[in-house]
Amino acid sequence: MKKLRVAVIGARGRMGAEAVRAVAEAEDMELVAAIGRGDALTELVDAGAEVAVELTHPDAVMGNLEFCARHGIHGVVGTTGWTSERLDELNGWLADSPGTGVLIAPNFGIGAVLTMRFAQQAARFFESVEIVELHHPDKADAPSGTAVRTAQLIAGARREAGLAAQPDATSASLAGARGADVEGVPVHAVRLRGLVAHQEVLFGDEGEIFTLRHDSMNRGSFMPGVLLGVRRVGGVPGLTFGLEHFMELDG
């Protein structure tokens, strides 16, 4: 069997180290490069990498993906910090490299993907919604990419259903008390030693509360999603945003 030649960028980080292990153990993959900070990206080309798993930092991801796109290396990206401007830039590189695929997954956890889908479905049935994301205190960004994506999906579903902005008569006496406003959805970020990655989406209406909660108890929880992305990305040229597009959610 021909094995997929896979590299990991950010290989010495928390997620990268886990991805190195998962790729090395996958029977249909060969780990051909493990790139850390300071290592030359040309190693990817020298090693003949077909797919690069990118797990670094919002400050580093764009340079790494530009290199991959220019060299026709498919990308599976977990790094956060995506804005529409960044996505436009990435789409530009991919337009110049037809045949190259990039998957950006705000969250590789299967349960997290389902949480986002269920939140999107529930959004139009409730007057109020708030998101609480809870992570380890070494996380570089806040709010999490998952929380931002969840809020965007909820806001889109509310708009589509013609719902008005949710009522909030509170005048915050302390800045930040109501969290960050992501397209009208309040998002609260908790950073606490002992946590890994967790999220609650709270919906409320008269007399009832509906809560969706997902917990990643360790980083192994993200690896089936990473491997799914690696296996599928080469067959889907261009940019794919969200692992749900590689899962048969409606089947």
Ligand X SMILES: O=C(O)C1=N[C@H](C(=O)O)C[C@H](O)C1
Ligand Y SMILES: NC(=O)C1=CN([C@@H]2O[C@H](COP(=O)(O)OP(=O)(O)OC[C@H]3O[C@@H](n4cnc5c(N)ncnc54)[C@H](O)[C@@H]3O)[C@@H](O)[C@H]2O)C=CC1
Q: In the sheet that 208-216 helps form, which strands lie side by side, from edge to edge?
A: 180-182, 185-191, 128-135, 197-205, 208-216
Q: Note if 139 is an active site residue.
A: yes
Residues that bind ligand X (CB under 6 A): 80, 106-107, 135, 139, 144-146, 197
Q: Please compute, for residue 55, the number of CA atoms within 13 A of its CA located in the half-sphere on the CB side.
A: 23
Which of 78, 101, 179, 229 lies at the binding interface for ligand Y (CB under 6 A)? 78
Pick from 29, 70, 69: nearest CA to 230: 29
- Is the separation of the CB atoms in 186 and 128 below 8 Å? no
What's the min distance (Å) between Cβ of 14 and ligand X? Answer: 7
Question: Which of ligand X, ligand Y, none lies near 12, with the C-beta cut-off 5 to 8 A by kind?
Answer: ligand Y
Q: Report yes or no: 51 and 73 within 8 Å, Cβ to Cβ.
A: yes
Q: Provide the minimum distance between the beta carbon of 105 and ligand X in the complex, in angstroms, as a whole number.
A: 9
Nearer to ligand Y, 110 or 163 (CB): 110
135 a catalytic residue: yes
- For the segment 210-239, give every residue that binds ligand Y (CB under 6 A): 222
Cβ–Cβ under 8 Å, residues 65 and 77: yes
Nearest alpha carbon to residue 248 among 227, 232, 226? 232
Among 9, 26, 132, 227, binds ligand Y (CB under 6 A): 9
List 135, 188, 198, 214, catalytic entry: 135
Identify residue 22 by its one-letter amino acid code.
A
CA–CA gap between residue 215 and residue 133 (Å, rounded): 10
Residue count, binding to ligand Y (CB under 6 A) = 23
Q: Does 242 bind ligand Y (CB under 6 A)?
A: no
What is the smallest separation between the CB atom of 125 and ligand Y, expressed in angstroms?
A: 28
The one of ligand X, ligand Y, none whose footprint includes residue 37, by CB under 5 to 8 A per kind, is ligand Y
Whether residue 251 is annotated as binding a ligand: the answer is no
Nearer to ligand Y, 105 or 182 (CB): 105
CA distances from 101 to 15, 29, 75, 104, 145 (A): 21, 18, 6, 10, 21
Binding residues for (S)-2,3,4,5-tetrahydrodipicolinate, as ranges, are 136, 145-146
Give residues in contact with ligand Y (CB under 6 A).
9-10, 12-16, 35-37, 55-57, 60, 78-80, 105-108, 140, 222
